[in-house]
């Protein structure tokens, strides 16, 4: 056994995961370069070596869950991976110009992929599985939960910051008779939303949230705050405060981290969400202090595990129909979906819905579940 091989086996010794073992969560190594990649690049090397076909695992999500629960990602930190962290601390990686990266790199990769992976409404955020049995039911339940939490009523004007493919805007217009403005920094999302919801009282714009300065009765932001970045949290909430009616409500739906960070892990930064950062509760409350009043904080992170595994199942079934993607992309996307599910299953990340009002608001808020 080589030095690198021995070192990796030693690291795994207390995780319950073995190399070439007989359990579904054990790694099956196909190429010895796997060991050097992991030692040299840590979590980046683990993901890249999977993309390169160096190893496989029957139960990828459970294996990654076990590694996260053992804090293995904290034990292997090559010096070269410290540069992204330092860079995030020194400069604004989510500035107006840099924020466009995630639209091009993630959301514009192909509506054909997302249409096959997601539910019929193309909702790319956590479903609400309380009384749901299918992905479509869970996503409709989530959209309706949001509408009820903010007390949506017919005729209200609503802003959706980071509208995706228009799922919330379409639902609020169809079911609640509202007019909705949705903003996105993805050209593909904009094109899809404008076509699908043509004829409804909805307006979609290619626009940065920092450019907004108009009044809305209600504001929602569903799965976009993860792209804002700590250096911009205060500006973000100032925008909401500026645009929200005096008696309005704002709902923030975001993935959250257990500790405050300035950057994401190296693999996710490089391949999935450039500039993405999961906010902590402390970062959110500090940024919003003095601007808005928190009315309700709801955590249902376990539902994201189930949502991600549903997406992974849909993606696996759709692979034969997807053209224009190579095997390395398929493996990258598999790793992304299963590692994200592992993050929630290991309780390393959460899913929060937080309702805010303006300090001047006089409406009594009643929690909705």
For the ranges 3-12, 82-91, 238-247, which has the lowest average pLDDT? 82-91
Question: 45 and 154 share a domain?
Answer: no
* Domain end point (choices 77, 108, 132): 77
pTM exceeds cut of 0.85: yes
> 100 lies in a domain?
yes
At residue 172, the 3 state secondary structure works out as helix
Residues 287 and 230: their CA atoms lie apart, in Å, by 9
Confidence (pLDDT) at 342? 97
Tally of CB atoms within 10 A around 183: 21
> Is residue 291 one of the residues assigned to a domain?
yes
Same domain? For 24 and 98 the reply is no
- 201 and 317 assigned to the same domain: yes
DSSP 104: I
Q: Are 253 and 221 in contact (CB under 8 A)?
A: yes
Instruction: Give mean pLDDT, residues 179-198.
Output: 96
pLDDT averaged over every residue in the chain: 91
Residue 83's pLDDT is 46
The β-bridge relationship of strands 292-299 and 349-358 is antiparallel
Tell me, yes or no, whether 104 and 223 share the same domain: yes
Q: CA 95, 98, 102, 103: dihedral to nearest 10 degrees?
A: 100
Same domain, 66 and 100: no
pLDDT at 90 over 60: no
Domain boundary residue among 77, 102, 126? 77
- Statement to judge: residues 242 and 323 lie in one domain: yes
Q: Same domain for 189 and 293?
A: yes
Q: Is 103 helix (H, G, I), strand (E, B) or coil?
A: helix
Question: Which of these, 27, 19, 16, lies nearest to 68 by C-alpha position?
Answer: 16
On the 0-12 / 13-18 / 19+ scale of CB atoms within 10 A, 17 is: buried
Per the structure, the count of domains in the chain is 2
In a domain, 30, yes or no: yes
Q: pLDDT-derived band of residue 261, with 50, 70 and 90 as boundaries?
A: very high
> pLDDT tier at 211 (50, 70, 90 boundaries)?
very high
Domain of 73 in residue numbering reads as 3-77
Residue that terminates a domain, selected from 43, 77, 111 = 77
């Amino acid at each position: 056994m080589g030095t690198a091989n021995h070192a990796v086996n030693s690291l795994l010794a207390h995780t319950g995961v073995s190399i070439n073992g007989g359990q579904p969560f054990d790694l099956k190594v196909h190429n010895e370069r796997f060991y050097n990649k992991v030692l040299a690049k840590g979590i980046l090397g683990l993901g890249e070596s999977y993309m390169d076909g160096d190893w496989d695992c029957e139960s990828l999500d459970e294996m990654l869950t076990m590694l996260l629960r053992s804090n293995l990602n904290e034990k292997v930190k090559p010096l070269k991976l410290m540069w992204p962290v330092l860079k995030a601390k020194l400069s604004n990686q989510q500035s107006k110009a840099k924020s466009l990266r995630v639209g091009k790199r993630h959301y514009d990769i192909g509506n054909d992929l997302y249409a096959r992976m997601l539910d019929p409404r193309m909702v790319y955020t956590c479903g609400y599985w309380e009384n749901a049995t299918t992905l479509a039911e869970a996503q409709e339940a989530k959209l309706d939960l949001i509408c009820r939490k903010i007390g949506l009523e017919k005729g209200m004007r609503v802003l959706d910051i980071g509208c995706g493919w228009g799922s919330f805007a379409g639902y609020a217009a169809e079911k609640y008779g509202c007019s909705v403005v949705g903003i996105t920094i993805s050209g593909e999302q904009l094109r899809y939303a404008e076509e699908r919801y043509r004829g409804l009282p909805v307006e979609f714009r290619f626009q940065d949230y920092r450019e907004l300065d108009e009044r809305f009765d209600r504001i929602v932001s569903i799965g976009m705050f993860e792209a804002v970045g700590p250096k911009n949290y205060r500006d973000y909430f100032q925008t909401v405060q500026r645009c929200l009616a005096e008696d309005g409500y704002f709902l923030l739906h975001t993935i959250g981290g257990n500790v405050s960070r300035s950057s994401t892990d190296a693999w996710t930064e490089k391949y999935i969400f450039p500039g993405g950062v999961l906010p902590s509760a402390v970062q959110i409350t500090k940024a919003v202090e003095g601007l808005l009043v928190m009315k309700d904080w709801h955590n249902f992170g376990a539902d994201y595990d189930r949502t991600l595994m549903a997406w992974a199942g849909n993606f696996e079934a759709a692979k034969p129909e997807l053209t224009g993607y190579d095997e390395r992309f398929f493996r990258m996307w598999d790793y992304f979906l299963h590692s994200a599910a592992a993050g929630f299953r290991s309780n390393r990340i959460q899913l929060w819905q937080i309702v805010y009002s303006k300090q001047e608001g006089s409406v009594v808020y009643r929690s909705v579940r």
